[in-house]
Chains A and B, each alone.
Chain A
Amino acid sequence: MRSLVKPGILFLTPAMLVLGMFFFAPIFAAFMLSLTDFDIYALADSNNARWVGWENYHQLLTEPRFWRALTNTFYFVGIGGPLTVILSLSTALLVSSRLTRFKSVWRTIFFAPVVTTLVAVAIVWRYLYHTRYGTLNYALAWFGIGPIDWLGDSHWAMFAIILLAVWKNFGYNMVIFVAGLQSIPDELFDAARIDGANAWHTLVNIKLPLLAPTFFFVGVTTMIGYFQLFAEPYVMTQGGPLFSTYSVVMFMYEEGFRWWRVGFASAIAFVLFAIILAATAVQVRLQRGTRA
């Protein structure tokens, strides 16, 4: 069968239809929606939606809950991101050390939380965080640290969510770091050993500099993922106490899918997108800076 259309285009068509219809077109539509007052009445009859220009964005900037959600999300990304990457790198270094035995066993254990269902482990952690019956406070009591109301105290709740996220995600980056470490040629280490370099020197002068591209990748993907914080607070705290774990995506979810303020929620989604783009650009800049 000879066809007039190039086979390459035919092979791509199903994927382009799916992505176009269910991803790219909706993104374009989301931007349009964010410029309208599309709400529950428009849901019944779209003629009820009016063009409002940048009104939703203006309103967003004067909405205290948005600033609260934004601050919380930045706190989660700013503390949780670096903690995750540091733990990933540390375990990767330990697991791939020359002296370590049973490497694949350790790797499997550290990776297990990654494949678990977030909702399920968030529920498990909710009980581990219990002020009175939870294992965490019981263990901390050994060190004389008094009972902490992890999820009920607005000072601790976000940090508790960060700990869960770090536990859940560090294994993912660890695997990438391990692959990065394996790609460093052995001759470099041999040469360093001959020169009398100790483990610390090898780490600072060989491993870390050569891992720079891995750092960049891990940093960007972790950050993008963490900006989309939703299921953890949804399951563990519903955004509370006192809005201390209320995230941007949660704000979007409530506005959009609970109150059906679709136009406003689309504006929230776009602001989040812009923030992610800007933060990625900063990381690209930093990466170039270290290379120069």
Chain B
Amino acid sequence: MKARLQTWLIHATLLVAAAITMYPLAWMVTASLMPSGEAQSFPPRFWPSRITYSHYSDLFERLNMARYFGNSLLIASAVTLLSVFINSMAGYALAKLRFAGRDRLFRLLLAGLVIPAQVAMMPLFLLMKQLGLINTYWSVILPSAASIFGIFLIRQYALTIPDALLDAARVDGASEWRIYRSVVLPLLRPILVTLGVFTFMTTWNDFMWPLVALIDGDLRTLPVALAILSGEHVQDTELMMAGSVVTLLPVLLLFLLVQRYYVAGIIAGSVKE
């Protein structure tokens, strides 16, 4: 009897909390389908009086949204591929290959985790300017091509690879590169997917550095373009909601598809060595 009441209470609380959590996202979608002006009415509407896709066509036909979408997709994909490759080599080396100073290097990297990215931003801008890379995709791709978090994630996972397996391959005469490609990478696959998803989402959502480094309008990523658009179209609520949907739908869908890997990454990242 008491347990039943408890069960009921828990589910009621969860239901209310879930409704509140989902409301902003749900309203974003319904408001993006309302005729102009309807999202600004009293009392506030949730359902559109009639469904219109005109704000979406506005975004893509008039406001260059396809270009921004393409920019984001290109940058996030390039960073994901590069950083998974580079971090996996480094993480594997730190876990399984012996050389002098390895553990000291690892500790130094870990210490770097507490440094906020903004500290490096000013000199990074000057460096990119010097290299002539400001206003190119490279200015956003290169600094993210390796990450301490990524190396850490791979290293922790690579520690579980049995040494005997690697030694057996060495006895067979395989080169270190070959071992990495044919033995290590397949074993690392789950964590590579995790890191890939994680990196893609972080890069897609990143705001401050792309805002600074991509000054030219045509190179903007979605979040930057959206922030600037929202300053110019404050009154067009429905249009802005459509822009928000376009910006976050890809990551939300990706998350729903690969949830398991993503959550695994967060938990792995939170476990102390």
Contacts and interface: CB of A to CB of B under 8 A. Distances in A.
B10 interface: yes
Interface string A94-138: 110101110000111111110111111101111110101111001
A257 interface: yes
B188 interface: no
B247 A179 contact: no
A120 B248 contact: yes
B119 A128 contact: no
B33 interface: no
A124 B262 contact: no
B222 interface: yes
Given A116-B251, A175-B263, A123 B122 contact: no
B16 to A, nearest CB: 11
A235 B208 CA distance: 11
Contact of B24 (A15, A110, A125): A125
B10 to A, nearest CB: 6
Contact of B252 (A1, A97, A115, A224): A115
Given A133-B42, A135-B27, A99 B10 contact: yes
Interface in B11-61: 11, 13-14, 17-18, 21-25, 27-28, 31, 39-44
A14 B10 contact: no
B223 A273 contact: no
Given A108-B259, A123-B240, A133 B143 contact: no
B97 to A, nearest CB: 3
A227 B10 contact: no
Q: How large is the interface on B (under 10, 10 to 19, 20 to 34, 35 or more residues)?
A: 35 or more
A176 interface: yes
B120 A112 contact: no
A99 B3 contact: yes
Interface in A1-35: 1, 6-12, 14-16, 18-19, 21-27, 29-30, 33
B164 interface: no
B89 A217 contact: no
Contacts of A26: 119-124, 127
A11 B44 contact: no
B244 A30 contact: no
Given A109-B22, A249-B118, A256-B122, A118 B205 contact: yes
Contacts of A107: 263
B175 interface: yes
A79 interface: no
Interface stretch (A58-66, A185-193, A262-270): A262-270
A120 B93 CA distance: 39
A41 to B, nearest CB: 14
B207 A256 contact: no
A99 B240 contact: no
Contacts of A14: 86, 89-90, 145-146
A252 interface: yes
Contact of A135 (B10, B44, B114, B212): B44
B43 A138 contact: yes
26 contacts: A10-B176, A11-B90, A12-B89, A12-B90, A19-B146, A22-B127, A26-B122, A27-B115, A94-B14, A100-B11, A107-B263, A117-B204, A117-B247, A118-B205, A119-B223, A120-B244, A124-B27, A133-B44, A138-B44, A171-B21, A176-B266, A218-B270, A228-B116, A249-B118, A249-B208, A269-B119
